[in-house]
């Protein structure tokens, strides 16, 4: 899902760049470099605690190119949260497994609270890179710099470096006086290997004066072979070698002229081929357009029939959709009625089975026989209890009569004794 969102974001960014101009594609690279400078001013390497999150500081094109969408999104959320806190708004540090939609919406809401405009959908930030991510971080970095009351100071330029640069700029252009000075220095360093030019000039000047005074031609007394040897020995040392610097503007101008000549020379050959190709393509397009018109004229009645058939088909489809809608509704009602009917059938079957089944009667008869047996047993027990009670009563009665007789007999014996 993240990769698909990243591809969609790249396509949309390319389309927007075409609308704005060819240089808009590289605008996010410039924005990313500005963002990195602002983060360095805020001392993000120490205060953001990236090492505690196992992350390295971002490179100068980190949020401008797709590297690792998951890692880039986490880095984006971490830096955004730190910048919001740095700008004076409390913001909780997002975790790695938080909902990305909620995190992005909270970051954008904080950005809007600073008065910044957000004219892009939040899904553009899910990839973790692109122009929108650079824009959000750059705006937050500016707000953090404003909150910390950061201000640029006047630049102080060291004088020594300026002098060295001036010297190097002066050395870039070689003049005839400097060539003579260099030659004079080389002559003073290597007097044994070099001929004194001043002496030679004086000698030549004197010889010219003498020749001008004398009418006849003077003959030289120097051997020609020795003179040639001396010339061959001194000739390499008299050559002036100038080192070419690739940063010199003259070299760039020469290269531009060379490339221009090459382009013009190549254009002479290719222009004919391009004109020929253009003529062939234009003729082919004319043939295609004329053939298309002919086919359209020939097949116009078939096109009309096709359109009428298409209209009939659309009407039939509409009727079919209407009929299918009624059928589905009736099918739903039918299914409900069948469900109710099944329930009623189940209830009727349960009642019929309960009415025709003789198991309850058998159970009732068994219960009655059991009750009769239990009543018989209870009667027997009642009779036994009554018999035991009667016997106990009789025993008590006999005991009472016996006690009474026992008390009467001693009284009569006492009376007889008297």
The pLDDT, as a whole number, for residue 192 is 44
pLDDT at 181: 60
Answer whether residue 162 is part of any domain: no
Considering its fold, how many domains does the chain have in total? 1
In a domain, 348, yes or no: no
Residues spanned by the domain of 94: 25-148
Inside any domain, residue 135? yes
Q: Is residue 132 part of a domain?
A: yes
The Cα 290–Cα 280 span in angstroms is 15
The answer to whether residue 52 is domain-embedded is yes
Say if 334 falls within a structural domain: no
Q: Is 201 contained in some domain?
A: no
* Residue 256 resides in a domain: no
Q: What is the pLDDT of residue 341?
A: 94
| HEC per residue, the chain | CHHHHHHHHHHHHHHHHHHHCHHHHHHHHHHHHHHHHHHHHCCHHHHCCCHHHCCCCCCCCCCCCCCCHHHHHHHHHHHHHHHHHHCCCCCCCCCCCCCHHHHHHHHHHHHHHCCCCCCCCHHHHCCCCCHHHHHHHHHHHHHHHHHCCCCCCCCCCCHHHHHHHHHHHHHHCCCHHHHHHHHHHHHHHCCCCCCCHHHHHHHHHHHHHHHHHCCCCCCCCCCHHHHHHHHHHHHHHHCCCCCCCCCCHHHHHHHHHHHHHHHHHHHHHHHHHHHHHHHHHHHHHHHHHHHHHHHHHHCHHHHHHHHHHHHHHHHHHHHHHHHHHHHHHHHHHHHHHHHHHHHHHHHHHHHHHHHHCCHHHHHHHHHHHHHHHHHHHHHHHHHHHHHHHHHHHHHHHHHHHHHHHHHHHHHHHHHHHC
Report the C-alpha gap between 173 and 248 in whole angstroms: 9
> Taking Cα atoms as reference points, which of 82, 90, 71 lies closest to residue 39?
82
In this predicted structure, what is the pLDDT of residue 198? 55
Give the orientation angle of helix 69-86 with respect to helix 100-113, to 10 degrees. 30
Ordered mean pLDDT values, 10 residues apiece, the chain (418 residues) = 42 46 74 84 72 72 81 85 85 80 87 85 82 87 84 68 44 48 53 49 56 53 83 78 67 89 88 90 93 88 90 91 85 92 90 74 89 93 92 90 78 49
């Amino acid at each position: 899902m993240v990769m698909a969102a990243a591809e969609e974001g790249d396509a949309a960014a390319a389309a927007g760049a075409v609308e704005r101009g060819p240089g808009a594609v590289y605008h996010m690279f410039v924005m990313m470099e500005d963002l990195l400078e602002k983060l360095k001013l805020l001392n993000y390497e120490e205060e953001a605690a990236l090492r505690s999150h196992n992350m390295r500081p971002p490179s100068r094109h980190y949020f401008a190119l797709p590297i690792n969408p998951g890692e880039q999104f986490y880095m984006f959320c971490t830096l955004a949260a730190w910048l919001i806190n740095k700008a004076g708004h409390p913001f909780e540090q997002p975790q790695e497994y938080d909902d990305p939609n909620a995190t992005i919406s909270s970051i954008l809401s904080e950005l809007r609270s600073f008065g910044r405009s957000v004219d892009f959908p939040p899904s553009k930030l899910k990839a973790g890179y692109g122009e929108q991510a650079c824009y959000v971080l750059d705006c937050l970095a500016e707000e953090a710099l404003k909150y910390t009351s950061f201000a640029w100071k006047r630049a102080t330029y060291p004088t020594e470096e300026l002098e060295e640069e001036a010297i190097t700029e002066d050395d870039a252009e070689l003049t005839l006086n400097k060539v003579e000075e260099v030659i004079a220095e080389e002559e003073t360093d290597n007097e044994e290997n070099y001929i004194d030019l001043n002496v030679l000039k004086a000698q030549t000047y004197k010889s010219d004066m003498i020749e001008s005074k004398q009418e006849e031609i003077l003959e030289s007394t120097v051997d020609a072979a020795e003179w040639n040897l001396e010339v061959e020995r001194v000739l390499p040392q008299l050559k002036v070698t100038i080192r070419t610097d690739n940063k010199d503007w003259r070299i760039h101008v020469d290269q531009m002229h060379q490339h221009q000549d090459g382009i013009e020379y190549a254009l002479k050959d290719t222009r004919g081929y391009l004109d020929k190709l253009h003529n062939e393509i234009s003729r082919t397009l004319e043939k295609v357009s004329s053939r298309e018109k002919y086919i359209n004229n020939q097949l116009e009645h078939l096109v009309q029939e096709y359109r009428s058939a298409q209209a009939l088909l659309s009407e039939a489809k509409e009727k079919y959709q209407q009929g299918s809608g009624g059928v589905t509704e009736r099918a739903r009602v039918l299914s409900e009625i069948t469900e109710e009917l099944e329930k009623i059938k189940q209830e009727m079957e349960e009642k019929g089975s309960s009415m025709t089944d003789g198991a309850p009667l058998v159970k009732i008869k068994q219960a009655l026989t059991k009750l009769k047996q239990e009543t018989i047993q209870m009667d027997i027990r009642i009779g036994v209890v009554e018999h035991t009670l009667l016997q106990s009563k009789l025993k008590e009665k006999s005991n009472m009569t016996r006690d009474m007789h026992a008390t009467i007999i001693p009284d009569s014996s006492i009376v007889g004794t008297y």
